[in-house]
Structure 1
């Protein structure tokens, strides 16, 4: 892993870790077809990234129409994150077994069907189920994007341009999703934040069938039990926290969910100790030097995803913003992220991962805490500029955070576990977002009302990046040149 680079997909694809794949193109592709193939793959990545944010602006409208409670509304976000994050620990190896092109085609097909089903949903349960299936499709497709991108490009300028487009898709995806979500919700209805994936997905499928080559397959053992146990443990925890907000902490349902989470966690540890290719190698948690950065990657998205979710509720349900105004208010977050994401690789060689990461995490803490003050003073006269400023600070912090944290995680991973480290890195991001949102939904519900509780909820949300700041700042070490 080069210093300052980011990883959003497992590197354990056909032919071994990314370092081996990067040495040469894995298949010969005509020059003109390489450009088309790269565009198809970047469009696929953009579609998957956009779907993590496009529903945020539509949440109030969905809640009103389908009868979601304040606590259950978060499941629209967490259902996608849990299935995506839990299954991506396994799906990179599935792509190795069946071929990354085939995995991408199957994943995108599942994603399209689930998107249409979500748009047609007439009940809350159907929509949440559709979002979970969307996450399954995304988990299967996402690892293959990077593997195929490396496989069809030649090392040097061609691959550098392709990776730059890939990073741009990741960086701009949130902004595209927030803007598109606002426009679609206000003009066509919330259903179109789901339906829009169908034409884009069909375009991806048509292009992939004609222009993407298949790469060599590789035999590997699948840790299905480990992936299932980790996903079940996190899902049970999220369900417990979400249910506690409505049922109470002493409810048998809540206590049962915590029991399932504990048993699943114990099962995960027992399985991973024996499996030759575990999805979550216990060696990563043998010392805080390696566990600290990994655990920080679990709590960083918990604050960031929650910021976007609760800011949407603040702007539309308290301040009376339209969906388009809400999207515009959150776009500066992504612009700030893109700016520092581009600057970070240039600063890392001089300042090191620890300094840049600590600075970024400090920005996250201050940005969320600032929004707590905005929520406390929110009223009819609150302007959109008041919301813009914390969003900018949070985006600047986020852009300076993920590259150094990811670089440290990958550098400290044993060579035989590089693929697992990359998968775990992305999986923890998705799972952490779902976990944080569930905890903070419980906090908001416990305050009694949306207007009075958002300030407290944002303040508690700031504790997540603060925890990451302590973990990363204490145990991260600068990567040698």
Structure 2
């Protein structure tokens, strides 16, 4: 471990042992990702108990995602201004209290409000965990291993969530998929208070104009993309919020460039080629993640006939492979450089998704799901932690929070847009099938197109990686 760089002029950012600080960051990431995965299995029970309509039920997920992605940049900047420990503890407290409210919800409206508050807590928490790693661990192998462990903890969260959601919902109640966060959050708050050093906030005025336009722009853009689930891309319900979001983000960039004395997102960060290019690749990587975890689950359930629980178990070997590869991938980074690991991962993506596209009715799990899933998960294990390390490489501690927020935002926005594009493309291909559009054969045809598009995303990531500097500090 190392203290912060000289320009930060703050005390050592940790007081506990290095393993405890890393365990704290990983546990926070685990909890945030766990909450995304664990809720999906419980949705039918939630709908029965609280009387959600089919369209209203999606906001149990969308409310969380909208707040999580929309407020991430603001959460990252807050971590820089008010202190990493303070914002990490604040995010944990809000996330835990919102989880308690969700678990005790007595109406659909109360649950959606609680889920939105959970997303806001996650948006405060996630960039703070990255900032902790970036300021507490020295560049090179040590920080690389920390990023590998942090990335792997997200994979474990997704893997555990898919199974735990079914176990808790079946054995206890859907309420426990939320209530489980309360004791976990309390323990993590205690660890954060004991292992991280509080520091005074920076004497800078919050960039309110940037905060309002940036947050509102991201939220409007993501909301518009979400509306494609029920509306055509050219409809007013989609175009109005998307255009409003783009307009607000354009204003945000003008404010940051010309008017803000202490900008929420300093545009000078993009002069760092590693930061700029890595975030562009994270946007594209969002599509890879959606194709792997979301559409392979649909393939297993809608084409191969698995239950939701068995589909979650079916993805477990891939999640384990991701964890194993991610744990060590970034440790190789100082020797290989970013580009080589990204290109190797993209080759694995192409092979895996091309294999996935051959799956259809009557396919076997081992030959049509397990094999390609392991290949894709190897690629994710190589690419994701590498890009997160690259996107936050060689930045000053005073910018660690906003850089972490930017990297998280890129992945979230990329995943949201990719989900809308893939779902629209799959639905169009399925509807054009000669048989019933709800038949397994027709659905398999749509998923085949999605996996083909994922190959294109992988090739695009490989092409963009060529813009990276040949060597960089990490």
Q: Please indicate, yes or no, whether the TM-score normalized by the shorter chain is above 0.5.
A: yes
Residues 356-397 of structure 1: per-residue CA shift (max 9 Å, x gap)? 1112123234333433332xx135x74366322222111100
C-alpha distance 111-363 of structure 1, shift in aligned 2 (>3 A): same
Pick the aligned partner of 1:303 from 288, 291, 302.
288
- Say if 2:147 and 2:389, in contact at 8 Å, map to a contact too: no
Distance 1:74 1:371 in 2: 27
Are residues 1:463 and 2:446 paired? no
Structure 1 residue matching 2:31: 3-state secondary structure: helix
Please tell me whether residue 243 in structure 1 is matched to residue 194 in structure 2: no
Per the alignment, residue 386 of structure 2 pairs with 404
Change (3 A) 1:322 1:62: farther
- Residues 22-421 of structure 1: pairs in structure 2 closer than 5 A: 25-26=12-13, 28=15, 39-58=23-42, 69=54, 76-121=60-105, 127-145=111-129, 166=150, 168-208=152-192, 213-274=197-258, 275-283=260-268, 291-374=276-359, 377-379=360-362, 382-383=364-365, 386-411=368-393, 420-421=402-403
Shift of 1:401: 0.8
* In 2, Cα distance between equivalents of 1:463 and 1:342: 27
Aligned equivalents of 2:389 and 2:138: distance in 1?
A: 23
Where 2:358 maps in the other structure, the secondary structure is helix
RMSD between superposed Cα atoms in Å? 4.2
Is the 1:78–1:434 contact (alpha carbons within 8 Å) kept by the matching residues of 2? no
Task: Say whether the 8 Å CA contact 2:30–2:154 is kept in structure 1.
Answer: yes
1:303-334 deviation line (CA, Å, top 9, x unaligned): 20343122333333443323432222112222
The Cα of 1:437 is off from its aligned counterpart by 2.0
> Given the superposition, is the C-alpha separation of residues 45 and 405 from structure 1 closer, same or farther in structure 2, using an over 3 Å criterion?
closer
Unaligned stretches of 5+ in structure 2?
Answer: 432-436
Q: Is the 8 A contact 2:8 2:398 kept in 1?
A: no
Contact 1:94 1:103 in 2 (8 A): yes
Change (3 A) 1:366 1:252: same
SS at match of 1:400: helix
Aligned residues: 460
Task: Identify the residue that residue 469 of structure 2 maps to in structure 1.
Answer: 477
Q: Deviations over 1:25-51 (max 9, x none)?
A: 34656x7xx876665554333212322
Task: Compute the displacement of 1:189 (Å).
Answer: 4.5
Structure 1 unaligned residues grouped into runs of 5+: 3-14
TM superposition shift of 1:183: 2.5
Relative to structure 2, which stretch is displaced further, 168-177 or 36-45? 36-45
Structure 2 CA distance for aligned equivalents of residues 364 and 417 of structure 1: 32
Equivalent pair of 2:319/2:377 in contact (CA under 8 Å): yes
Does 1:438 pair with 2:420?
A: yes
Q: Could you tell me the TM-score, scaled by structure 2's length?
A: 0.79
Distance 1:22 1:166 in 2: 27
- Asked whether the 8 Å contact 2:225–2:416 carries over to 1, the reply is no
Tell me if the contact between 2:5 and 2:396 (Cα under 8 Å) persists in the aligned partners: no
Counterpart check, 1:422 vs 2:407: no
Cα distance, 1:428 vs. partner?
1.1
